[in-house]
Amino acid sequence: KAGVTQTPRYLIKTRGQQVTLSCSPISGHRSVSWYQQTPGQGLQFLFEYFSETQRNKGNFPGRFSGRQFSNSRSEMNVSTLELGDSALYLCASSWRQVNSYNEQFFGPGTRLTVL
Amino acid sequence: AQSVTQLDSQVPVFEEAPVELRCNYSSSVSVYLFWYVQYPNQGLQLLLKYLSGSTLVKGINGFEAEFNKSQTSFHLRKPSVHISDTAEYFCAVSDSSASKIIFGSGTRLSIRP
């Protein structure tokens, strides 16, 4: 079974631009969570999508948004990029079954560099 | 609110020596606890998890961790490390839904031959 895939793997943008990152979950998984990893702030939770609805949100500005499609694939968008948005963006997928533990499986990440 | 503290940012150790990576957590509710490993230029891989039951948890690659509720700790141990264990290790916590994981700041384990 294929793992979580993220595209693109590397991206270079300039300040003020916007960017869209894509995440394809493991087949059958219905939940996708996004995380930002930076040297200064570490790993921080951005948001989770399940059944095309945002279920959980971290403490990030509104420039960070996401969506989920009916096939569970997810995209996250960052508008008006700032230098501090340079990071590794990880997505993770899980079954999200009720009343049971749902392991999150992580993709390899997209490394975004903002110049 | 939940939080995780990893007390050591870097741990150097000689090959075949034992290692312990320390982790303390705080939470007002019952939690799940995890250790993840990240190899260079890769995503996160789950090493082990504590959900309930036995406080000694065994994971992959010979790692184990002990849940100590009174000390709110979840330290990771390995009796004999190998060069291939060189990586960054993250302790993490979540509530019972496990859909939002709170990570510690990470401990970089470097193995000296």
- B100 vs A contacts (CB less than 8 Å): 33, 45, 48, 56, 58
Taking CB atoms and an 8 Å limit, are B45 and A106 in contact across chains? yes
Whether the pLDDT of residue B75 is over 90: the answer is yes
pLDDT at A95: 86
Please check whether residue A56 touches B, CB under 8 A: yes
pLDDT at A68: 97
Q: How confident is the model at residue A97 (pLDDT cuts 50, 70, 90)?
A: confident
Q: d(Cα B8, Cα A75) in Å, to the nearest integer?
A: 35
Cα-Cα-Cα-Cα dihedral sign, residues B28, B33, B37, B42: negative
3-state secondary structure of A32: strand
Q: What is the mean pLDDT of residues B71-100?
A: 91
> Considering CB atoms only, which of B49, B96, B105 is closest to A42?
B105
Q: Which of A43, A45, A96, A103 to mutate to test the interface with B (most CBs of B within 10 A)?
A: A43
Residue pLDDT, tens place only, A42-78:
999 999 999 999 998 999 999 999 999 999 999 999 9
> Considering CB atoms only, which of A55, A58, A107 is closest to B43?
A107
Q: How confident is the model at residue A99 (pLDDT cuts 50, 70, 90)?
A: low
Q: d(Cα A62, Cα A65) in Å, to the nearest integer?
A: 7
pLDDT at A1: 67
Q: Compute the mean pLDDT over every residue in chain A, rounded to the nearest whole number.
A: 93
- B98 vs A contacts (CB less than 8 Å): 94, 101-104
Q: d(Cα B28, Cα A100) in Å, to the nearest integer?
A: 20
Q: What is the mean pLDDT of residues A25-35?
A: 95
- Our separate counts of H helices and E strands in chain A read 0, 11
